[in-house]
Structure formats: C-alpha cells, structure tokens
Amino acid sequence: MRFSRRGIAGQRDAGTKIVSVMTNTETRQPAKPGTPKSGVPKPVVPPITALLGVVLYDGRCGFCSRWVKHWAETLAHRGFQIASLDEPWVAERLKMPQEELFTDIRLLAAHGRLISGADVYLYVMRRIWWAWPIYAVFRLPGFNWLFRAGYRWFARNRYCVSRACKL
C-alpha cells in the first residue's frame, strides 16, 4: 500500500513511502469485534508524519546547539529527528574522519542518502509549507550560488560567531 503526505497514492512525489500494513489475518489473531463479516479487516492508517531523516548538527558549536533546540519542534512535526554529530552511532554509520565529519551540517535521509551543507537546508525547507517559497528562491541559479557561498562562510566561521554571541 502506498501512502504519501497527500493521501493514498498513485501520486508519486518525494514524500511517497512504501508502508507494510499488518492486518489481523497476517498476525493470525482472531478478528476483533469491529471486523466486517467478510473477514477482511479495515486497513491500518500510518501516522501522517513518517520519518524523513535525521538532521545531524555540530554539538560542539554553541550557535548550532542553541538554534537546533529552537527548531526541534518544527522539524519533528515535519518528520525529522535531530542528533549531534558527536554521538557515537553517527561516526560509525557515516564512516568519515572526524575532521571531515564536523565540517558541515548533515542529514541522513530515511532512504539512506547522506545530504551535506547548504543542501540540508534546501531539503528541509522544501518540506515545510511556509519555507517552500524561500526554497524556491534559493534554487534559482544566482540565488543558489549566493546561498551556498553564505552557508560556506558561516560554516567556516561558526565557532567565532558562537564566541561573539557568547553562545
């Protein structure tokens, strides 16, 4: 059975997930009182927000740590979990040298793809309805270059920004 954010689908979009739905007949349990006489149970509908990925931030950066707490609820409502890059499972899963691991924000998407840097922000903005217009602007050629350059500058200087803001 295919589900997407828009509903049960023949609609294909980036949010489409294949969901295995377990029914009473698959678990070999007796039918519940609400089961129709045909013996076919009603389908179980999965939660609206499925896990889209895990946003991995630099837990040693004061700015990053403070802002991730601010955005945690918004991200959770959109299907994203949050974890620090210095958690042991992250290095084991990503198999990157420590100095490379902490250069960028990263997103481990549910389908296994690793997204890094400015692309993480674009990936997340595309999935938040009120941030979608910002995503659309920063996908345009000149603006995309500006967004990536701004991200690169901030990523290189985030520890200085944290000290200046006393975070």
- Please write the tens of the pLDDT for every residue from 146-156: 999 999 999 88
Q: What is residue 166's predicted lDDT score, i.e. its pLDDT?
A: 55
Is the separation of the CB atoms in 66 and 164 below 8 Å? no
pLDDT exceeds cutoff 60 at 76: yes
Is the predicted pLDDT of residue 45 greater than 50, yes or no?
Answer: no
Query: Domain check: are 10 and 76 in the same one?
Result: no
To 5 degrees, how large is the angle CA 71–CA 76–CA 78? 100
pLDDT in tens, 120-132: 999 999 999 999 9
In a domain, 109, yes or no: yes
Same domain, 16 and 58: no
Half-sphere exposure of 117 (CA within 13 A, CB side): 15
Encoded tokens for 155: 């990523």
Q: pTM for this one? A: 0.65
Same domain (yes/no): 111, 70 = yes
- Are 67 and 115 found together in one domain? yes
Domain coverage including residue 110 = 53-164
Residues 6 and 72 in one domain: no
Q: Are residues 57 and 131 in the same domain?
A: yes
Instruction: For residues 74 and 12, state if they share a domain.
Output: no
Q: Predicted confidence band at 37 (pLDDT cuts at 50, 70, 90)?
A: low
Q: In the predicted model, is pLDDT for residue 27 greater than 70?
A: no
Cα separation values, 29 from 21, 24, 32, 34, 36, Å: 15, 6, 9, 14, 15
SS3 of residue 108 by DSSP: strand
> What total number of domains does the chain contain?
2
Do both 138 and 82 map to the same domain? yes
